[in-house]
Amino acid sequence: MKNIAIGQAGGPTSVINTTLVGFVKQAMKENKLHFIENGYDGLTHGQFSEGNETILKWILDHEHIPGACLGSGRYAFTDENISTAVRHLKKMSINTLVFIGGNGTMEALNKVGIEAARQKYDLQVIGLPKTVDNDLGCTDHAPGFGSAAKFVAQATRDLSRDLYSMKNFEQVRILETMGRNAGWLAAASGFFKTTAEEGPHFIALPEKPLDQEQLLKAVKSALTNYGYAVVVVSEGVAFSNGKQFQHDVVGGRAILGGISKQIEQLLKEELKVTARAELLGMSQRSFSQSVSSRDTAEAYQVGVVGASWIEEGLSNVMVSMERTEKKDYEIVMKPASLQAVASCGERVMPLRFIDNLEAYYKWLAPIIGDPITSYPPLAPKNTVFTHY
């Protein structure tokens, strides 16, 4: 029997609690569990609660609830804080520390492992991946992304139909997605597109500076050919002659956002059209009615595997999802060293996907997972609207 402490960190997802539940169900059988409140903040300040019957039941009730039920957040996890945290874990005889998180979390866990070794404390450290941005390295993808990608793809398809209906009133909509410095989510917006006339007609990814001329040309062409235009832009996109737009800075962390509004202004001025910027917002990472069932299953499995590794004695590793070479989609969970994950940094979209979205959508399809309903074409074949 081990003393295990688990917490959640970074931006929540629709399925971060699913991973927690998978982990708890597996780990509670043989171990004593402690829950950390509000991520590294709670880890630093020792806000733990012991996993009694009430709390365990309460956590299990969150299997399909969005948000991070233990409390997450962002917190400056300084070297001093890390040192304090390790000393306290030692004092509480916690043998194993587990966190569900993204890039920042894996980097933090790696530091905790190093600090524990320095303090000569035998601490087992395990990371469980989550991200909506899909910018976590050393894994095919991570839980949370599939559901967010599905929301973006579905919302873009539906909003395109909505705008097309209204094209004699409003011609252009610019949808801004999450993603930070990686374009995975924004690129997912075209997943359901099957014809040139359907939106999105232009997708801007942070991996490439946005060329105004190219944007204007694409929008003009869509307006000429289909009477409306849908532009999707990732929050991290910068114009080729400018910088990323920051909506706000909180606790030293830049909250990206605002590029869609800039594009709205540009299109209004240059093309004299009615254009409206719209942020897809926090529903991307939380809307519970469009989670991907595969994402849910994988999120759960990541938790189960992490817990099983505790028994096997693995440490300083993240549960990585490796896609096998088999024809049918298959994921194998393998350990990736936290050191390796931390040195990956933010994983952006590779050129082979940026330059070939069809290849990207083929890769994405099993992650979005659920059966795809096809939409009829925007106009019936050979329709003639007669002018009387």
Per CB under 8 A, which of residues 7..26 are in contact with a second copy?
8, 11-12, 14
Of residues 220-279, those binding a second copy (CB under 8 A): 247-248, 250-251, 255, 274, 276, 278-279
Q: What is the DSSP secondary-structure string of 301-348?
A: HHHHHHHHHHHHT--SEEEEEEE-SSSS--EEEEEEEHHHHHHH-S--
* Residue of 22, 39, 127, 236 that binds a second copy (CB under 8 A): 39
User: Pairing state of beta strands 246-250 and 96-101?
Assistant: unpaired
Whichever of 359 and 379 has its CB closer to a second copy, that residue is 379
Pick the stretch among 52-60, 103-111, 210-218, 338-346 that binds a second copy (CB under 8 A).
52-60
Residue whose structure tokens are 């014809």: 195
Whichever of 164 and 363 has its CB closer to a second copy, that residue is 164
**CB < 8 Å & 24+ apart, contacts of 191-196:** 191/149, 191/153, 191/361, 191/364, 191/365, 191/368, 192/153, 192/154, 192/156, 192/157, 192/372, 192/375, 193/157, 194/374, 194/375, 195/377, 195/378, 196/225, 196/226
Site track 355-384 with a second copy (rule: CB under 8 A), x = hit: ------------------x-xxx--xxxxx
Structure tokens at 188: 């997912």
Residue 41 touches a second copy, criterion: CB under 8 A: yes
Whichever of 173 and 193 has its CB closer to a second copy, that residue is 173
| Catalytic annotation present for 41 | no
Whichever of 25 and 208 has its CB closer to a second copy, that residue is 25
Residue 165 touches a second copy, criterion: CB under 8 A: yes
Residue 332 touches a second copy, criterion: CB under 8 A: no
* Residue of 2, 25, 67, 244 that binds a second copy (CB under 8 A): 67
To 5 degrees, how large is the angle CA 60–CA 76–CA 137?
Answer: 65
The set of catalytic residues is 133
